[in-house]
Amino acid sequence: MRLNTIKKLILCICAIVLLLSACGFRGTGTGSGTSPEETAESQAPGPSPVLTPAHEGKWDESVSPEPNGDEPTGQPDGSATPEPGRDDGENHSDKADKVLKPLPPDGPENAGGNQQKEPAGENGAEQASGEESRPDTGAADPFSDPESALKGKIICIDPGHGKPGVSIPYEKIAPGSNETKPGYAYGTTGVSTKIPEYMLNMEVASRLRTALEARGCIVVMTRESNEENLGNIERARIGNEAGSDLVIRIHADGSDNPNVHGVSVLYPGSRYISDETLLAKSKSAAQYIHDAVVQATGAKPRGIVRRDDLTGFNWTTRPVILIEMGFMTNPEEDRLLNSPEYQDRMVSGIVQGLIDYFSASRQ
């Protein structure tokens, strides 16, 4: 009886001890009744600094990260304080959904209004658009500047005709031909200005030379003054020996009808020339120059004309064209042709035609 009482007492004591132990465990830990998950959340590090559009590349000073040696501790531009008068960190309604990265350290070219997209791939090799980023090789695009098509081109300019009183023997119109023509001609004269054609041709040729040399062309002149007297075969020889990429013969037109006006461009035919490449290049250049001159001057387009009977064409071994700038026998067109402003427009058209021609040939 006594033994049973002792056993019951021991069991009661054990039960009390177990109960007290359980109560004691719940009373330890954080001492604030916080669950382990809540404790871990409360100890998580604060948010990293972000940029907002209103800051335009400045750090958000509302969050101050601890410096770790790898991240900037101030503003990316190196300044210590925000821009005067700028409200940094307050009332930015789009702060939560528009986050911009600071300028890259090597990106002064990115400092404009266009912000860079974050890389979509893990290694940043692809942009968010899906296009691969292309390294800048520094090489210039040869087609980005149309005028570069003229650089290094050899252009022979032949100001047509010459002063009166010069006698040059008749010349064969083509190698092996028995047909002859005068080797030298005075040309026409302005009905209004009384300026002779050879002087007008020289003036426009000189302006064209200046314009082409400014664009990197190598210019060869058949004559450089109005005192030089050359036959047509000699003019062709100069262009041939220069290795000209194109020979441009500068002329003005005349007619018994004073109402006739406009621009035409002549090119050689195949009667005496068998070089198909030369013929094709000449015709192509004629069309480009004709169209560009008409566009620049507003002159009436008279088209391109094939000629087999011109000595200066038939003795050439280089692509060649002859531009008839207008009719000096038309009073109004004569005055235009001899005005510096119109001459500059004429030159501008010829230059543009050359740019178009050489650009097309290199594509």
**pLDDT tops 70 at residue 170:** yes
Rg (CA), the chain: 43
Question: Does 355 map to a domain?
Answer: yes
Q: Judge whether 292 lies within some domain.
A: yes
The chain-wide mean pLDDT, for the chain, equals 76
Q: Which residues contact 355 (CB under 8 A, 6 or more apart)?
A: 146, 147, 149, 150
Enclosing H/E stretch for 327: strand 320-327
Residue 269's domain comprises 147-362
Residue 185's pLDDT is 86
Strand partners, 155: 219, 246
In a domain, 10, yes or no: no
Question: What is the average per-residue pLDDT within 336-356?
Answer: 99
Say whether pTM exceeds 0.95.
no
Q: Which of 214, 215, 187 is nearest to 201 (CA)?
A: 187
What's the CATH number where 312 sits? Answer: 3.40.630.40
Residue 83, amino acid: E
What's the angle, vertex CA 5, arms to CA 4 and CA 11, rounded to 5?
A: 90
Mean pLDDT of 82-109: 36
Q: How many domains is the chain built from? A: 1
Given a contact cutoff of 8 angstroms between Cβ atoms, the answer to whether 172 and 183 are in contact is: no
- Which range has the top average pLDDT, 3-12, 49-58, 82-91, 108-117? 3-12
* Residue 12 confidence (pLDDT): 75
The pLDDT value recorded for residue 258 is: 98
Q: Among the listed ranges 9-13, 17-21, 40-44, which one has the minimum average pLDDT value?
A: 40-44
pLDDT at 158: 99
Query: How far apart (Å, rounded) are the C-alpha atoms in residues 250 and 204?
Result: 8
Q: Is residue 28 part of a domain?
A: no
Average pLDDT over residues 60-69: 37
Helix (H) or strand (E) holding 9: helix 2-26
Q: 286 lies in a domain?
A: yes
Give 190-247 pLDDT, tens digit per residue.
999 999 999 999 999 999 999 999 999 999 999 999 999 899 999 999 999 999 999 9
> 107 — phi, psi (to 5°)?
-125, 55
Q: Using an 8 Å Cβ cutoff, are 49 and 102 in contact?
A: no
Residue 171 has pLDDT above 90, yes or no: yes
Q: Mean pLDDT, to the nearest integer, of 155-178? A: 94
């062709």: which residue's tokens? 236
User: Within a domain: residue 252?
Assistant: yes
CA angle at residue 65 from 63 to 66, to 5 degrees? Answer: 150
Who's near 7: CB < 8 A, 6+ residues apart? none
Q: 127 in a domain, yes or no?
A: no
**The dihedral sign for the CA sequence 164, 168, 174, 178:** positive
In a domain, 343, yes or no: yes
Task: With cut-offs at 50, 70 and 90, classify the pLDDT of residue 24.
Answer: low
